[in-house]
């Protein structure tokens, strides 16, 4: 067993260096602190097994496979710049590890500062929380998940890597008020709208980054629970937050994923023909032209200007 650990440690270090070079080349590791986190946190400890598409459903790869070739395949996959399916139930994806370059983009957008307290919604494997712990210190990190089994697994992985942040099994839509206030909230699961509980647990000036439709919404929280912000330009596809009603965007023209984002954002406020007509008339706008405002008990999405003519209510959170 000791020899196998050494095998994983040495090969994992090489694969990790290659992953860091790849993510760095994509321009997502400009901050030395985040580069160090990706270089030093061993991702393979957080995915001791995972699933890949096979000829009849999912195929399981794991670190304890007696076949050396399959063990090597597992380790290589752990450090590829792709999302990894980590939990499958009845043929349905329940949890996944996000693509590392997308993680790096999100962490850069989160703009954390020394001393910031961060709440992560969706513990997943624990790897994202480990990166936050490396950057901020474990005492500043709280991660939650609705599923007790997932939370316990993340806790175990984090401990194996030497980190012990607060890992709490609760409905992510409710946040974690006992450890509030937070300077940053980041969700690694898709939401149909912004849960008001998150904003109530934020310090003034806090940032909230959450997947909504097929984009990433970055909000700045003001006094009184008001928040406003725009979407990042990148696309983002996440497993839906369980415990909240999710909406799956319908397909748009010829697979245009920018229209899928738009329709997922405004559905059901507009039917498909109305949405398509508006989107074409406005020059096929990308994600960065859209934003969301939360004020009191209302929240709405908008195009270009929060007070402009194009605004659509989001569902109650």
Rounded CA separation 265/294 (Å): 15
pTM of the model: 0.92
Q: Is residue 95 among the annotated active site residues?
A: yes
Q: Where are the domains of the chain?
A: 1-98
For residue 148 the two structure tokens come to: 């007790």
Q: How far is CA 91 from CA 46, 171, 188, in A?
A: 22, 23, 21
What per-residue confidence (pLDDT) applies to 38?
97
What per-residue confidence (pLDDT) applies to 252?
42
Burial class from Cβ neighbours inside 10 Å (0-12, 13-18, 19+) for residue 16 reads buried
What per-residue confidence (pLDDT) applies to 36?
97
What per-residue confidence (pLDDT) applies to 247?
42
Per-residue pLDDT of the chain (317 residues; tens, 9 = 90+): 455 566 788 899 999 999 999 999 999 999 999 999 999 999 999 999 999 987 778 899 999 999 999 999 999 999 999 999 998 887 777 788 999 999 999 999 999 999 999 999 999 999 999 999 999 999 999 999 999 999 999 999 999 999 999 999 999 999 999 999 999 999 999 999 999 999 999 999 999 999 999 999 999 999 877 999 999 999 998 888 765 434 433 434 445 889 999 999 997 788 889 999 999 999 999 999 999 999 988 999 999 999 999 999 998 75
**Active-site position among 95, 98, 101, 213:** 95
What per-residue confidence (pLDDT) applies to 244?
46
Burial class from Cβ neighbours inside 10 Å (0-12, 13-18, 19+) for residue 109 reads middle
Q: Which residues of 154-180 are buried (b: 16+ CB within 10 A; e: fewer)?
A: bbebbeebebebbbbbbbbbbbbeeeb
What per-residue confidence (pLDDT) applies to 253?
46
Q: How far is CA 172 from CA 150, 156, 254, in A?
A: 13, 20, 35
What per-residue confidence (pLDDT) applies to 57?
80
Q: Which residues of 253-286 are buried (b: 16+ CB within 10 A; e: fewer)?
A: eeeeebbbbbbbbbbeebeeeebbeebeeeeebe
Contact 185, 173 (CB under 8 A): no
Report which DSSP code applies to 300: E
Q: What is the CA angle 148-188-111, rounded to 5?
A: 130
- Mention every residue, 6+ apart, whose C-beta is less than 8 A from residue 60: 49, 50, 51
């Amino acid at each position: 067993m000791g020899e196998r650990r050494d095998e994983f440690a040495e090969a994992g270090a090489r694969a990790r260096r290659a992953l860091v070079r790849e993510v760095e080349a994509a321009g997502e590791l400009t901050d030395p602190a985040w580069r160090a986190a990706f270089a030093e946190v061993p991702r393979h400890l957080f995915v001791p097994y995972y699933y890949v598409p096979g000829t009849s459903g999912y195929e399981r790869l794991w670190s304890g496979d007696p076949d050396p070739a399959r063990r090597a395949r597992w380790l290589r996959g752990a450090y590829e710049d792709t999302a990894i399916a980590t939990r499958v139930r009845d043929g349905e994806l329940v949890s996944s590890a996000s693509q590392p370059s997308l993680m790096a983009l999100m962490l850069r957008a989160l703009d954390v500062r020394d001393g910031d307290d961060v709440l992560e919604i969706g513990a997943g494997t624990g790897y994202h929380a480990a990166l936050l712990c490396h950057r901020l210190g474990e005492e500043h990190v709280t991660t939650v998940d609705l599923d007790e089994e997932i939370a316990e697994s993340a806790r175990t992985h984090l401990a194996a890597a030497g980190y012990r942040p607060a890992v709490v099994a609760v409905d992510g839509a409710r946040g974690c008020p006992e450890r509030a206030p937070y300077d940053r909230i980041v969700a690694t699961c898709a939401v149909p709208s912004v849960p008001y509980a998150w904003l109530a647990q934020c310090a003034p000036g806090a940032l909230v980054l959450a997947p909504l439709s097929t984009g990433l919404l970055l909000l700045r929280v003001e006094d009184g629970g008001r928040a406003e912000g725009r979407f990042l330009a990148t696309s983002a596809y996440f497993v839906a937050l369980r415990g909240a009603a999710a909406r799956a965007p319908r397909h748009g023209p010829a697979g245009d994923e920018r229209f899928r984002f738009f329709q997922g954002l405004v559905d059901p406020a507009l039917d498909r023909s109305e949405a398509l007509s508006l989107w074409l008339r406005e020059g096929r706008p990308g994600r960065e032209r859209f934003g969301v405002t939360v004020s009191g008990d209302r929240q709405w999405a908008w195009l270009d200007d929060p007070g402009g003519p194009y605004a659509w209510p989001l569902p109650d959170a």
